[in-house]
Chains A and B, each alone.
Chain A
Amino acid sequence: MAMALLAGTLVPAAAMAHAILEQSQPSAGGSVPAGKVTLSFTYNSRVDRARSRLTLTRPDNTQTVLRISQTGAPNVIATSTELTAPGPYSVRWQVLAIDGHITRGDVHFTVTGQ
């Protein structure tokens, strides 16, 4: 046993991934001009929008839960919001895939002055 167990002890564990983010708008590390911004996240599988969540973190570290649009392609979650202050932002996404797996991740981007 122990040889297998010890290998488990030695391996660095990692988070699981199922519904994976294939594409985002803005892209990770990208930038958008200040103003009304559409945030869109495309996955490899169908997601349950009503049971998923997008949380925006602003440059001053305040957080807002964004309302997810309930229409669109089955593998996309999207929202629109006003981003007025330039600086670094991030969106933490958490999605429930239709097969019941919950995954999450972060997309960091920058808002530039208009």
Chain B
Amino acid sequence: MTLLIDLFGYLSIVVHGLTIVAQSMALGGVLFLALLVHPLASQLGSAGESIGRTCARLAAWSAIALVVCELATVGLQSAVLVGTVDLSLGEVMGAHFAIAGMVKAAAAALIALTLFTLGQRAPVAPLLVLTAIELAAATLTTHAAARLDNRTPLLLVEGLHQFGAAIWIGGIPSFLLALGRIHNGQALRLVGTRFSRMSMVGVACILVSGITMWLLYVGDWQGFYGTAYGVMVGAKIAMFLMLLGLGAANFLLVEHLRTTPSAPITRLKRFAEIEIGIGVAIFFAAASLTSVPPAVDLTQDRVTWPEIIERNTPQWPRFASPDHDALALPALQAKLDADAAHRNAKPQIAFVPGSGDLPPRNAADIAWSEYNHHWSGLFVLAIGVLSLLNQAGLRWARHWPLLFLGLAGFLFLRSDPEVWPLGDIGFFASFRDVEVLQHRIFVALIAAFAIFEWRVRTGRETNPKAALVFPLLCAGGGILLLTHSHAIANVKDQLLIELTHTPLALTGIVAGCARWLELRLDHATNPVASRIAAWLWPVCFILVGLMLLGYREA
């Protein structure tokens, strides 16, 4: 059960991220139907009918996904409580989170049922009532519900924040579906203008609620840069600004349609596609935020600005590894073995994976980790340079994905020195450790990616959609990294590590978006945007390599 709680900590963030995505798409779809498709139906003609049908189906399936995610959340939390507090399932289901979760699931199920049976002709009023119930229940599982002070205003702004995310980001998939079904400039302008207005309402809601939450949850600048909560808020703001930039470009294009109805709209569609990706990343960052305490609650052990500067001042990378036996765990195990031999007793195990305790660390462990980061940085820098050269026309440089294979092997050997093959803990026993489990998954994904992308680059994989796997995994990796690690009650060193990894995650997301645009934009009608995208992602790789080379833990 201890292991379940550890796994639960990470799993709950992933499931919560998926829940926010599903909720925003379901509610965004309903709002798109109610505020755009229904009012414009008579002006859109047969296209309106087709848009309504498709968007209703998308919202309905999103609502089903929301039901599944919500039941999974309640199920996971209930399993942990039943297993650790000796409560019956009935007693657990009386908890606030369980009641709110079941209300959310029921409202989502009703939305799905209504849309599946009545489609785009579903009456708007009941759907909006269900949307309001969904949002109200969702706010009861946010930080605001557990606050001691300012509970009511915080609940209101949390609701406003989620509404803003739904009407804007959650509506983008429906907008994209609509764009695919409209074939004249006049209708495009109508839909584009209406969705721009809905987006502006969403942006306004997010700004008002975001600023209020910043004041009440973050409080001051040191809370912003000196706590895990503040750093994640910073990541959300950075991605919000990216979305605003893309949204502004789309707004200008829609306005251009007013004077030139025949203007090509490929860029509008492609930007909308990457807006969905960035939106998903924001939702996972939001899920991460729910697992850390608000900055205002952490008044001690905050990281100071001079500490950030000191830690990030460049130093020559570490290319020599400390001896494995000098690491804290092998050293402790050797001592325990020696003590046991002295007493003729069975030696005690220095560290049991999944026990819930963190393994000991010493200076050699820090050097070991820095060495891993620095060599990985060299690998990634080489990958970035080669992909840039490949972009410039150097043909043999197209084999750059194979370097990732070497990197995967390096990480498999070195990332968890306490486990097989370098350590005493066996291969299968090591999977009880959540950290090792995550690392193994990441290594497997890197190796699979290396082989896959190499096949794409060398023409062995001919399906054009295969090339899209790279940007998807790149952005997906960035999103996973956002959810990977958080400070334990704000231990400074953990936060300083997070401060360096959040930019890595954001750069990964930007690289994925850039490569997606390079592949998906029409080069003939968008030569500049395509060219920028093509050069941007290798530059992102180089930046990541440099960030890793500058990484320090002490």
B465-488, CB < 8 A from A: 470, 472-478, 480-481, 484-488
Binding-face segment, A32-40, A77-85, A97-105: A97-105
Interface residues on chain B, size class: 35 or more
Count chain A residues whose beta carbon lies closer than 8 angstroms to a beta carbon of B.
Answer: 43
Which of A1, A17, A20, A104 is within 8 Å of B5, CB to CB?
A: A104
Which of B10, B85, B404 is within 8 Å of A52, CB to CB?
A: B85
A100–B77 contact, CB under 8 A?
Answer: yes
Q: Mark B72-112, 1 if CB is under 8 A from A, else 0.
A: 01000100110011110001100111101100000000000
Q: Mark A40-83, 1 if CB is under 8 A from B, else 0.
A: 00001111101111000000000001000000001100000000
B516 interfacial by beta-carbon distance below 8 Å: no
Which of A2, A20, A99 is within 8 Å of B446, CB to CB?
A: A2
Residues of A within 8 A of B434 (CB): 13
B292–A17 contact, CB under 8 A?
Answer: yes
A114 interfacial by beta-carbon distance below 8 Å: no
B95–A48 contact, CB under 8 A?
Answer: yes
A4–B81 alpha-carbon span in the complex (Å): 33
B9–A16 contact, CB under 8 A?
Answer: yes
Residues of A within 8 A of B507 (CB): 3-4
Given contacts A13-B485, A18-B290, A45-B148, contact A98 B5 (CB under 8 A): no
B544 interfacial by beta-carbon distance below 8 Å: yes
Given contacts A3-B380, A102-B81, contact A14 B91 (CB under 8 A): no
A111–B143 alpha-carbon span in the complex (Å): 36
A74–B148 contact, CB under 8 A?
Answer: yes
Residues of A within 8 A of B462 (CB): none
B450-464, CB < 8 A from A: 450
Residues of A within 8 A of B478 (CB): 1, 4
Residues of A within 8 A of B445 (CB): 1-2, 5
8 contacts between A and B (CB under 8 A): A1-B449, A2-B408, A3-B477, A7-B504, A12-B485, A14-B488, A21-B489, A52-B85
Q: A13-B10, A99-B97, A99-B145 are in contact. List 14 more A-B contacts (CB 8 A).
A: A1-B446, A4-B474, A6-B380, A9-B439, A9-B442, A10-B376, A10-B411, A13-B434, A14-B488, A15-B488, A16-B486, A19-B293, A101-B12, A102-B84
In the A-B complex, the 3 residue pairs with the smallest Cβ-Cβ separation, listed nearest first, are A100-B97, A4-B508, A4-B477
